[in-house]
């Protein structure tokens, strides 16, 4: 009995905090999603069942925003993984101790920068006339690019910014994975072959799988809910070019004040995120276990 | 709790009633200090924006606090957050005692009973300044910014009209003696002559937020005879006049900087201030920014005129904010809030507000000798306020939803993703869907905007 009380004493506060901060709002969102619930029409609140969900699922604007979000995900995530893996492999090589420590420290900087600040920085750096990016392009003879005002360029810009900010995170996670590879196995493999690919695929990759799964889940969830950086940088524009799903939900819920519809959109997004996370775990862990 | 609040309200009402009799006997004795005495120590909360008019009011505030003992807590927000912050506060029964109301929010706030009509206070001689002189406000501004459904809720505080700000030196160098009188001249005569050497004739701020709806889209509808809605509240965007305006905007874009759909007020003002564009149509409130040598390098080249005319007349952009007492405030806070609103928008303070960078809506201050010479935006502003359209943007409760649709499709039209007809068709259908749901077509709601 005493040990149960101790357990509860340690875990209880965390469980209660989680329930209050995470689960209660979720239940409330589920509740409001079943109602006509507009902040500017509180007198007209009424139960409408699944109507909000039907509206969301048949709304082309919602699916366009979802499409944009997944387009960003399938471009940004592989870039982050490839670049992150490259950086991790470089840092894993022996030698240049001080330089590597410095690199590891500097890798933390983009991650430590607040999303909103990244967006505001982008507004200045990608400014057509005064931005440093166009100044640099000018040095190599490239005409100024209209980053923020052109739909395609704006989308490229937010992908670039996301890759800049989160590749270091992937690199550090994978670097941590590489340090778990036993030295003797890696050294033995290096005696067997000079092919870095063979070593990566057969020796290092199995140890990287848990980190990769974590990266995939976290980065997918982060991209699906990416808001601050895009909001401060482009506000979803020009037109709808960078209106990702989270921006759309915010627009419906907090600028159109339709909390019911926005809640239904958020619940659908949550379901998609959970399904994707489960898929990653099943596919990658099964492959990993099969491989072993 | 309710009984307690009812009792205290009755007690306060009784005391106000008694005071009223007393005060009405001594009308000539009314002073702010005396009126505020029962409310000394009261704190009131108000949302301010990060704009020149609010900085001016903030500088004036210590005098009010010293005279009255009322503490005014200012909560600053950028424009884009101000509506959401206030709506959430009102829904939750929060702390705001004064509502800051953009003219397009007035229907929303009034229909939800979040604000109190001013007659509650003007009918109380203890609270009404005998010098209030409500008729001194420009009638268009008072009705558009503070009025809804025949009642006045707010007093105009931060007041704008669209004006043509231009760089007279650039125009002179190109051979022009003055600004364009019509939109057609601006595009066909001034446009080609001033767009050269990396400089542009005109910048129309069109970022996808309220700027797209108010400063860009609506600005091109009205002078050409178009409008958002017809008399039956059906979309009027496919009318010949509305289409003419929207097509004009497309044609005008060739004389604007690249990426104009990413321009907000700050970018447009900055483009003129740095000498990159020759003309902008902007709110009168940005005068102080453009005049200040620290924020503008065009100096004495800055000149101001009313917005150009279209085939339907001038119809300049109209926008601005009133201050109103919230219904959620307690009786004491309501009285204190009213005293502040009445004071900050008063005839007596209008000159100081103007001198500090604000734009008052008092007619009397613009008649003061020397003001028109000192502030060269005044003649254009006064002219614009004679010719403005109150429903420049509809002021009903559904505007927050409709403006989102306008922002999205207005930008798509500008980018050429859809033609003006296609964009107007989709925009109109979605706008009508919102209005239908609200009950305008079934007769549930009156056709008021």
pLDDT at B344 over 50: yes
Provide CB contacts within 8 A for B102, sequence distance 6+.
Answer: B79, B82, B83, B319, B320, B321
In the predicted structure, residue A2 carries a pLDDT above the cut 80: no
Average confidence (pLDDT) over B160-179: 94
Q: What is the pLDDT of residues A210-225, one digit of tens each?
A: 899 889 989 998 999 8
Which of the residues B198, B261, B405, B435 would you substitute to probe the A interface, choosing the one with the greatest number of A C-beta atoms within 10 Å? B261
Nearest residue in B to A258, CA atom:
B401
pLDDT band at B21 (very low <50, low <70, confident <90, very high): very low
Angle between helices A97-112 and A60-92 (to 10 degrees): 160
A240 touches chain B (CB under 8 A): yes
Q: Find the mean pLDDT for residues B374-396.
A: 85
DSSP bridge partners of B154: B324
For residues B290-306, give the mean pLDDT: 90
CA B282: distance to chain centroid? 12
Residue (of B385, B404, B403, B384) closest to B394 by Cα position: B403
Residue B8 pLDDT grade (very low, low, confident, very high; cuts 50, 70, 90):
very low
Band of residue A98 on the pLDDT scale cut at 50, 70, 90? confident
Burial class (CB within 10 angstroms; exposed 0-12, middle 13-18, buried 19+) of B373: exposed
Please answer whether residues B351 and B341 qualify as being in contact, where contact means their C-beta atoms are separated by less than 8 angstroms.
no
pLDDT for B7: 42
Q: What's the CA gap between B425 and B412, in Å, rounded?
A: 13
The CATH class of A21-291 is mainly alpha
A238 and chain B: CB distance < 8 Å anywhere? yes
Using alpha carbons, select from A284, A270, A280, A267 the residue that is nearest to residue A32.
A267
pLDDT of residue A287: 60
Radius of gyration of chain A (CA): 23
Q: Which residue of A has its CA nearest to B402?
A: A256
Are A150 and B259 a contacting pair at CB < 8 A?
yes
Model confidence at B447, pLDDT cuts 50, 70, 90, reads confident
What's the mean pLDDT when you consider all of chain B?
A: 90
- CA distances to A219, B329, B345, B350 from B133, rounded to whole Å, are 61, 25, 11, 13
pLDDT of residue B449: 67
CB contact under 8 A, A234 and B262: yes
Averaged pLDDT, A252-279: 92
- C-beta separation of A254 from A80 below 8 A: no
Residue B104 at interface with chain A, using a CB cutoff of 8 Å: no
Report if pTM > 0.90.
no
Minimal Cα distance from A252: which residue of B?
Answer: B401
Q: Do A255 and B260 touch (CB under 8 A)?
A: no
Residue-wise DSSP of B316-343: --EEEEEEEEBTTS-HHHHHHHHHHHHH
Tens digits of residue pLDDT in A230-254: 999 988 888 788 999 999 999 999 8
* Interface confidence (ipTM) of the complex: 0.76
- Listed residue (B251, B205, B221) closest to B416, CA to CA: B251
| Chain A interface includes B262 (CB < 8 A) | yes
CATH architecture of B20-159+319-387: 3-Layer(aba) Sandwich (3.40)
Q: How high is the pLDDT of residue B433? A: 93
Q: What integer is the mean pLDDT of B321-335?
A: 97
For chain B, the domains span 20-159+319-387, 161-318+391-438
For residue A183, pLDDT over 70 is answered with yes
Residues 15-44 (A) with a CB less than 8 A from some CB of B? 39-43
Residue B265, chain A, CB below 8 Å: the answer is no
Residue A103 has pLDDT above 60, yes or no: yes
pLDDT of residue B2 exceeding 70, the answer is no
Q: Which residue has the higher pLDDT, A225 or B184?
A: B184
Q: Do domains B20-159+319-387 and B161-318+391-438 have the same CATH topology?
A: yes
B25 — pLDDT class (breaks 50, 70, 90): very low
Answer whether CATH 3.40.190.10 is correct for domain B161-318+391-438.
yes
**Lowest-pLDDT range, A205-214, A243-252, A275-284, B294-303?**
A275-284
In a 10 Å sphere around its CB, with 0-12 CB exposed, 13-18 middle and 19+ buried, how is residue B293 labelled?
exposed
- Cβ(B436)–Cβ(B142) below 8 Å: no
DSSP label at residue B30: -
Please tell me the distance from the alpha carbon of residue B292 to that of residue B404, in angstroms, as a whole number: 34
CA torsion sign for A175, A176, A177, A182 is positive
Higher pLDDT, B400 or B221: B221
Asked whether the beta carbons of residue B87 and residue A40 sit closer than 8 angstroms, the reply is: yes
């Amino acid at each position: 009995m005493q040990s149960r009380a101790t357990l509860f004493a340690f875990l209880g506060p965390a469980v209660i905090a989680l329930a209050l901060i995470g689960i209660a709002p979720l239940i409330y969102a589920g509740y409001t999603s079943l109602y006509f619930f507009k902040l500017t029409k509180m007198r007209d609140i009424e139960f409408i069942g699944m109507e909000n969900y039907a509206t969301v699922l048949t709304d082309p604007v919602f699916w366009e925003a979802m499409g944009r979000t997944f387009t960003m995900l399938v471009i940004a995530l592989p870039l982050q993984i490839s670049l992150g893996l490259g950086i991790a492999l470089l840092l894993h090589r022996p030698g240049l101790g001080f330089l590597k420590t410095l690199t590891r420290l500097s890798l933390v900087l983009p991650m430590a920068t607040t999303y909103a600040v990244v967006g505001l920085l982008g507004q200045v750096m990608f400014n057509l006339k005064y931005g440093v990016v166009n100044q640099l392009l000018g040095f190599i003879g490239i005409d100024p690019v209209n980053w923020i005002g052109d739909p395609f360029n704006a989308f490229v810009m937010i992908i670039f910014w996301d890759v800049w900010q989160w590749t270091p995170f992937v690199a550090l996670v994978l670097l941590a994975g590489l340090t778990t590879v036993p030295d003797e196995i890696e050294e033995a493999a290096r005696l067997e072959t000079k092919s870095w690919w063979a070593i990566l695929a057969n020796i290092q990759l199995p140890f990287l799988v848990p980190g990769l799964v974590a990266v995939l889940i976290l980065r997918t969830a982060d991209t699906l809910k990416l808001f601050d950086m895009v909001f401060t940088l482009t506000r979803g524009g020009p037109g709808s070019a960078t209106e990702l799903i989270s921006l759309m939900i915010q627009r419906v819920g907090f600028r159109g004040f339709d909390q019911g519809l926005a809640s239904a959109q958020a619940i659908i997004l949550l379901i998609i995120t959970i399904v994707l996370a489960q898929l990653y775990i099943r596919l990658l862990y099964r492959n990993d276990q099969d491989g072993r | 709790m309710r009984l307690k609040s009812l009792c205290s309200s009755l007690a306060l009402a009784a005391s106000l009633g008694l005071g009223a009799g007393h005060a009405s006997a001594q009308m000539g004795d009314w002073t702010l200090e005396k009126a505020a005495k029962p409310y000394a120590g009261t704190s009131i909360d108000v949302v301010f924006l990060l704009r020149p008019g609010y900085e001016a009011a903030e500088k004036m505030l210590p005098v009010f606090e010293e005279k009255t003992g009322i503490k005014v807590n200012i909560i600053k927000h950028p424009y884009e957050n101000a509506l959401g912050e206030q709506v959430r506060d009102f829904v939750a029964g929060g702390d705001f005692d004064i509502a800051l109301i953009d003219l397009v929010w007035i229907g929303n706030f009034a229909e939800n009973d979040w604000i109190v009509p001013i007659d509650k206070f003007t009918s109380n001689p203890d609270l009404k300044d005998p010098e209030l002189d409500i008729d001194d406000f420009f009638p268009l501004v008072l009705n558009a910014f503070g009025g809804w459904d025949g009642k006045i809720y707010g007093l105009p505080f931060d007041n704008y009209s669209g004006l043509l700000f231009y760089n007279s030196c650039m125009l002179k160098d190109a051979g022009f003696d003055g600004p364009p009188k019509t939109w057609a001249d601006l595009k066909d005569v001034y446009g080609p002559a001033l767009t050269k050497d990396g400089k542009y004739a005109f910048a129309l701020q069109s970022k996808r937020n309220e700027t797209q709806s108010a400063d860009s889209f609506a600005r091109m509808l009205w002078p050409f005879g178009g409008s958002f809605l017809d008399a039956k509240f059906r979309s009027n965007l496919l009318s010949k006049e509305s289409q003419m305006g929207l097509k004009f905007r497309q044609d005008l874009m060739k004389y604007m900087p690249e990426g104009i759909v990413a321009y907000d007020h700050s970018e447009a003002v900055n483009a003129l201030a740095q000498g990159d564009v020759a003309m902008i149509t902007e709110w009168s409130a940005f005068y102080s920014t453009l005049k200040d040598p620290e924020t503008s390098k065009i100096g004495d080249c800055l000149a101001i005129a009313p917005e150009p005319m279209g085939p339907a007349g001038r119809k300049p952009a109209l926008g601005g904010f009133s201050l109103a007492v919230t219904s959620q405030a307690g009786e004491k806070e309501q009285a204190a809030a009213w005293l502040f609103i009445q004071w900050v928008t008063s005839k007596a303070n209008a000159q100081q507000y103007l001198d500090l960078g604000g734009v008052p809506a008092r007619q009397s201050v613009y008649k003061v000798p020397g003001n028109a010479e000192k502030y060269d935006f005044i003649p254009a502003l006064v002219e614009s306020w004679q010719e403005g359209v109150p429903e420049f943007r509809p002021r009903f409760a559904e505007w927050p939803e409709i403006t989102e649709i306008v922002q999205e499709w207005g930008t798509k039209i500008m980018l050429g993703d859809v033609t003006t007809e296609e964009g107007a068709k989709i925009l109109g259908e979605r706008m009508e869907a919102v209005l239908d749901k609200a009950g305008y077509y079934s007769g549930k709601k009156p056709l008021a905007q």
